[in-house]
């Protein structure tokens, strides 16, 4: 009799409590900047290397100052967290009823830069940009909304110019996750080159795109000197 009564009380409590009481969800959010293998006027195949693509070195006022070429990431938009990129930033956390737990941020993953001989496709040099200018802030919880900052800059380490003259790939802005409305947003700045993408996965489910932004077809590395403000908000 007592066991039946306890079971009945349990059923009543389950009906009364909100469905999100005791919420415990794991969030994984990642940002990538990559040079696409298509959609740009300046992209060409790497000679003698099928499936690989490159872009020419920079020009200034139409004058070629670098006669070599540089690797793309040989892809288009891809929601895989392992997709090759120039910059990858990942943040993860658990959202519990009381608040945020287990917030982690990956060591920024900076992709390899490869300099090619444009005519032969031979590799002249490889390098990797510094990750010192890629940071993710700790999260805050305000009114049930989780917020954190992403600041990421990385420049081609092989360009034969003073560092101050080499513009950076950039992702600067604030991520906001609202579990009540099941939405996630990003407000901030990206450069006009190359391609940028961001995704969220909750509890290991297939990722939802926060944004996917491609450069204009006539963009070049010098388009990095110009920025776009973006403010997407997506349901998840």
DSSP characters over 130-149:
-STTEEEPPPEEETTEEEEE
Tokens 């006009």, located at residue: 192
Question: What pLDDT, on the 0 to 100 scale, is given for residue 14?
Answer: 32
Q: Is 194 part of a structural domain of the chain?
A: yes
| Whole-Å CA distances, 195 to 59, 75, 77, 223 | 20, 10, 8, 12
Q: Is 178 part of a structural domain of the chain?
A: yes
Q: Is 2 part of a structural domain of the chain?
A: no
Q: Is 85 part of a structural domain of the chain?
A: yes
Q: Label residue 164 by pLDDT band (50, 70, 90).
A: confident
DSSP SS3 for 186 = strand
Q: Is 16 part of a structural domain of the chain?
A: no
If residue 33 lies in a helix (H) or strand (E), which one and from where to where?
strand 24-34
pLDDT tens, residue by residue, 137-158: 999 999 999 999 999 999 999 9
Q: Tally the domains of the chain.
A: 1
Q: Is 52 part of a structural domain of the chain?
A: yes
Instruction: Quote the tokens at residue 145.
Output: 């909304």
Angle ∠(194,212,57) on CA atoms, nearest 5: 10
Q: Is 15 part of a structural domain of the chain?
A: no
Residue 56 lies in domain = 21-235
Q: Is 3 part of a structural domain of the chain?
A: no
pLDDT tens, residue by residue, 74-116: 999 999 999 999 999 999 999 998 899 999 988 678 999 999 9
Task: Annotate 50-117 with three-state secondary structure.
Answer: CCCEEEECCEECCEECCCCEEECCCCCCCCCCCCCCCEEEEEEEEEECCCEEEEEECCCEECEEEEEC
* Cα–Cα distance measured from residue 30 to residue 170, given in angstroms and rounded to the nearest whole number: 14
């Amino acid at each position: 009799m007592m066991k039946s009564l306890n079971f009945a009380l349990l059923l009543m409590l389950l009906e009364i409590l909100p469905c999100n009481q005791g919420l415990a969800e794991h969030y994984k959010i990642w940002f990538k900047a990559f040079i696409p293998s298509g959609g740009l006027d300046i992209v060409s195949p790497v000679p003698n290397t099928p499936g690989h693509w490159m872009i020419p070195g920079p020009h200034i006022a139409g004058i070629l100052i670098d006669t070599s070429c540089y690797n793309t990431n040989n892809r288009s938009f891809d929601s895989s967290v392992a997709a090759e990129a120039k910059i990858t930033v990942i943040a993860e956390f658990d959202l519990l009823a009381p608040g945020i737990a287990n917030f982690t941020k990956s060591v920024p993953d900076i992709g390899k830069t490869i300099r090619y001989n444009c005519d032969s496709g031979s590799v002249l040099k490889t390098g990797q940009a510094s990750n010192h200018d890629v940071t993710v802030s700790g999260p805050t919880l305000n009114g049930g909304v989780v917020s954190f900052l992403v600041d990421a800059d990385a420049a081609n380490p092989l360009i034969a110019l003073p560092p101050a003259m080499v513009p950076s790939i950039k992702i600067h802005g604030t991520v906001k996750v609202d579990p009540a409305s099941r939405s996630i947003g990003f407000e901030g700045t990206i450069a006009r080159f190359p391609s940028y993408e961001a995704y969220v996965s909750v509890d290991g489910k297939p990722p939802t795109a926060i944004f996917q932004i491609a450069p204009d077809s006539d963009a070049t590395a010098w388009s990095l000197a110009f920025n776009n403000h973006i403010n997407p908000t997506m349901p998840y």
